[in-house]
Amino acid sequence: MKPKIARPSKALPSGLFAIGLLVTGLLLGACGSGSPTAAEVAPGMATGVSTDALPAEAAVSETKINSDPISSPQVIRSAYVDIRVADVADATAQVVAATASRAGTIDSQNINSDGTSSYANIVARVPADTLDAFVADLGDLGTVISVSINAQDVTTQVVDLDARIGVLQTSIDRLKSLQAQATSVTDLVAVEAELANRQGELDSLTAQRSYLGQQVSMSTITVSLSPITELTSSTAPGFLAGLQNGWSAFLALVAFVITSAGFLIPFVIIGAVIVVPVILVVLKRKK
């Protein structure tokens, strides 16, 4: 005995249901996603529908989505600052504190040492509208060697994602309405399959839009801290500096002579052992 399928009290005729499903697929043309339309998912449904039969509300919805521009440019800003400081550890702590005071976060923090000096590299994120002030504050830590600020305009990407998300959401709402009015197992399966595809696309686009929003609202700044290297007194001009340099050169020469002598002595000894007997033999024969 075949199972009975519960039908809603206000079921759509099969032809009208197919038209509605086709219209939902056509709405997704503005997304440019390239995924199959509802008509492709359910090839058994009637598809001979002219564009004149499309509901006016669909055109109005699409026009509204595409004509809602972003109110301000969407720009991702980042910065790099190289600073020489007297105390790397103390300067690192100040950078962390300054980041926290501006409601920012520390993405990474590394302090390395070569045995004599320490170096730090900090990657922080601060609200985009405070980036310039934050960079200016870093100048108080020490001597700023270099500063670079980069900007990437992603307004076009944001507008495109917002439009595609809007169209997908409209399509999903329409599919849910058709799902509630399905009159057969075939209709229901077709709608559910298309609804799953559209929801997956919507989740992906929403994640991309959220990531761009975070990049725009929070700027990334990389801070490089290294110790100040001071010139020694030996480089100071004047008679004493010249005398000190001359004495250092003399000591270096003496050290070179001693080292050279130590290197040559073994060869001299070996040469004497070989050459001296030869000379004695030659002199003896001459006599």
Distance CA 274, CA 143 (A): 67
Integer Cα distance of 103 and 116 in angstroms: 35
- At position 26, the amino acid (one-letter code) is L
d(CA 111, CA 120): 4
pLDDT surpasses 90 at 5? no
Average pLDDT over residues 13-25: 52
pLDDT band at 89 (very low <50, low <70, confident <90, very high): very high
For residue range 194-251, what is the model confidence (pLDDT) as tens digits? 999 999 999 999 999 999 999 999 999 999 999 987 444 444 557 777 888 888 888 9
What residue segments make up the domains of the chain, in order of their start? 14-69+156-213, 75-154+219-227, 233-286
Global pTM?
0.55
Q: Is the pLDDT of residue 30 over 70?
A: no
Burial pattern 141-178, b for ≥16 Cβ within 10 A else e, equals: bbeeeeeeeeeeebeeebebbbbbbbbbbbbbebbeeb
Q: Count Cα atoms within 13 angstroms, Cβ side, for 53.
A: 13
> Are 127 and 217 within 8 A, CB to CB?
yes
Give mean pLDDT, residues 147-158.
Answer: 95
Domain 75-154+219-227: CATH class, spelled out? alpha beta
The yes-or-no verdict on residue 276 having pLDDT over 90 is no
pLDDT at 188 over 60: yes
Q: Is the pLDDT of residue 114 over 50?
A: yes
d(CA 156, CA 162): 10
User: Mean pLDDT over all residues of the chain?
Assistant: 78
Lowest mean pLDDT among 9-13, 182-186, 278-282: 9-13
